[in-house]
């Protein structure tokens, strides 16, 4: 029961927990909720806890790590005294020099290490990476090929998370970009860490429906993709535009743009921070491992948007190697780490032409108002940019542009 909340209450086992519940009048279930979810007790329960333990409100906050803004300011105001107390209680630790890590796989542009990512990050030069994409384990008790423990306590998971996140912050160049793919609940905590060091560009919601609805909850249908930069703005931001959304049957307009059709950019519609076009990898032709694999489209978009050819991309949780294969195809240098088996990653590079074809097809649908297929379906039935130009010439003296009828 190694948990800050339990330690503050001097609870070391289930017997202690039951005894404290009886003495305080707070149920065992509620005490477990406060401890496991790292929730600060409500006022009534806090008063009971302070009464039983003899702690002050200040002491309890310090012991549990749940610091309000007033306490943080108090610590800041007394930083000199506090640092003296801490320094006097610490022993100088000799920094152990790490031996250089040996890569298990290299390509023309990339280097892959099979090791713990936190250890690897500490060995790499600080502020040496242009773009980082991280897809960590979600702590959902999933089975990973690496055999890692994916069912840590909340406190353990967040402590580990803060360590690797700060490793990423240290590796990132000024103006570099960091993307973190996770479920929303964990990214709320990661944002709290990053907001002290980087600048939030976007919280991107990727609409992906994996499971059936959960009873008594809203249907969880999106993943969260955090997008942060080091410094005020990114060094690189390459705008991506998407084709106009049309009916998949008749290719007609889904939205009525009225008299603004001729104002639409012929390179397409601005990409928003809600992505509906990132499908999960389900088909056996594309899925290369048993656990979840990220789609090529997601990494193609991130890497294309936040880096240029020749830049360095880092991924601390390689998985099936999607970041690495896309970086290679897009002519980015890359550094990767995967603690588990790397055979799948190596195999993907042996069949790199298969992935190149997919990336090439994806790029055909970028920065165009209509795809080639949509154009063919719309010809003679619905408006196209060139038909609007003709109408404009024929209607110079009117404010209204006559449109093709929407059949």
pLDDT tens-digit map of 26-38: 999 999 999 999 9
Q: What average pLDDT does the chain have?
A: 88
Predicted local distance difference test score (pLDDT) of residue 210: 63
Q: How do residues 201-235 score in pLDDT, each as one tens digit?
A: 999 999 987 666 678 888 888 999 999 999 999 99
Secondary structure of the chain as H, E, C letters: CCCHHHHHCCCCCHHHHHHHHHHHCCCHHHHHHHHHCCCCCCHHHHHHHHHHHCCCHHHHHHHHCCCCHHHHHHHHHCHHHHHHHHHHCCCCCCCCCCCCCCCCEECCCEEEECCCHHHHHHHCCCCCEEEEEECCCCCCCCCCCCCCCCCCCHHHHHHHHHHHHHHHHHHEEEEEEEEEEECHHHHHHHHHHHCCCCEEEEEEEEECCCCCCCCCCCCCCEEEEEEEECCCCCCCCCCCEECCCECCCCCCECCCCHHHHHHCCCCCEECCCEECCCCCCCCCCCCCCCCCCCCHHHHHHHHHHHCCCCCEEEECCCCCCHHHHHHHHCCCEEEEECCCCCHHHHHHHHCHHHHHHHHHHHHHCCCCCCCHHHHHHHCCCCCCHHHHHHHHHHCCCCCCCCCCCCC
Q: Average pLDDT for residues 287-295, to the nearest whole number?
A: 62
| Cα 167 off chain centre by | 15
Residue 290 binned pLDDT confidence (cut-offs 50, 70, 90)? very low
The four Cα atoms 54, 57, 62, 66 give a dihedral, to 10 degrees, of 130
Q: Which residue has the higher pLDDT, 144 or 205?
A: 205
Q: How many residues in total does the chain contain?
A: 407
Measured distance CA(363)–CA(272) in Å, rounded: 18
pLDDT at 406: 41
Please give the Cα distance from 111 to 321 (Å, whole number): 12
Say what the pLDDT of residue 147 is.
Answer: 64
* Integer angstrom CA distances of residue 391 from 262, 264, 366: 10, 15, 26
What is the per-residue pLDDT for 192?
Answer: 95
Q: Are 59 and 46 in contact, with CB atoms under 8 Å apart? A: no
| Dihedral angle, C-alpha 296, 109, 148, 160, nearest 10 ° | -100
Instruction: For residues 167 and 123, give the distance between their C-alpha atoms in angstroms, rounded to a whole number.
Output: 10
The CB-based long-range contact list for 216-221 (8 Å cut-off, 24+ gap) reads 220/183
Spell out the CATH class of 105-364. alpha beta
Whether 3 and 29 have beta carbons less than 8 Å apart is answered as no
Q: Which two tokens stand for residue 187?
A: 């990214």
Q: Are 152 and 187 in contact (CB under 8 A)?
A: no
pLDDT score for 87? 78
Q: What is the pTM for the complete model shown?
A: 0.88
Of residues 305, 370, 369, 372, the one with CA closest to residue 332? 305
Write the CB contacts of 345 (distance below 8 Å, at least 6 apart in sequence).
Answer: 105, 112, 318, 320, 321, 324, 336, 338
pLDDT at 369: 93
Q: Where are the domains of the chain?
A: 4-88, 105-364
């Amino acid at each position: 029961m190694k948990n800050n909340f339990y330690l503050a209450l001097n609870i070391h086992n289930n017997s202690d927990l039951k005894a404290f519940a009886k003495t305080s009048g707070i149920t065992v279930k509620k005490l477990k909720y406060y401890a496991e979810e790292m929730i600060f007790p409500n006022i009534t329960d806090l008063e009971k806890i302070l009464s039983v333990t003899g702690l002050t409100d200040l002491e309890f906050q310090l012991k549990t790590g749940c610091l309000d803004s007033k306490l943080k300011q108090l610590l800041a105001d007394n930083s000199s005294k506090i640092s003296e107390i801490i320094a006097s209680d610490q022993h100088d630790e000799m920094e152990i020099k790490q031996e250089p890590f040996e890569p298990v796989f290299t390509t023309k542009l990339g280097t892959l290490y099979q090791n713990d990512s936190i250890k690897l990050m500490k060995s790499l030069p600080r502020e040496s990476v242009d773009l980082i994409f991280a897809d960590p384990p979600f702590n959902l008790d999933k089975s990973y090929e690496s055999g890692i423990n994916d069912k840590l306590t909340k406190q353990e998971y967040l402590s580990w998370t803060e360590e690797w996140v700060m490793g990423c912050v240290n590796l990132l160049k000024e103006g570099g970009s960091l993307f973190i793919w996770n479920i929303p609940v964990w990214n709320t905590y990661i944002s709290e860490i990053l907001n002290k060091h980087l600048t939030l560009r976007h919280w991107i919601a990727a609409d992906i429906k994996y499971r059936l609805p959960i009873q008594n909850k809203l249907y969880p249908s999106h993943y969260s993709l955090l997008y942060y930069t080091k410094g005020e703005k990114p060094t690189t931001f390459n705008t991506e535009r998407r084709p106009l959304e049309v009916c998949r049957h008749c290719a007609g307009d889904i939205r009525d743009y009225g008299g603004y059709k001729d104002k639409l950019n012929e390179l397409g519609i601005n990409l928003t921070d809600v992505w509906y076009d990132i499908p999960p990898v389900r088909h056996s032709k594309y899925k290369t491992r048993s656990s979840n694999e990220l789609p090529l489209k997601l990494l193609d978009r991130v890497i294309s948007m936040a880096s240029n050819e020749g830049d360095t991309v880092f991924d601390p949780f390689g998985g099936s190697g999607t970041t690495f294969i896309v970086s290679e195809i897009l002519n980015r240098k890359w550094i990767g780490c995967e603690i588990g088996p790397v055979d799948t990653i190596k195999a993907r590079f042996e069949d790199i032409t298969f992935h190149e074809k997919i990336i090439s097809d994806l790029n055909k649908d970028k920065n165009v108002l209509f795809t080639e297929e949509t154009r063919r379906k719309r010809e003679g039935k619905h408006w196209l940019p060139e038909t609007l130009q003709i109408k404009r010439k024929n209607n110079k003296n009117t404010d209204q542009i006559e449109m093709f009828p929407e059949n």
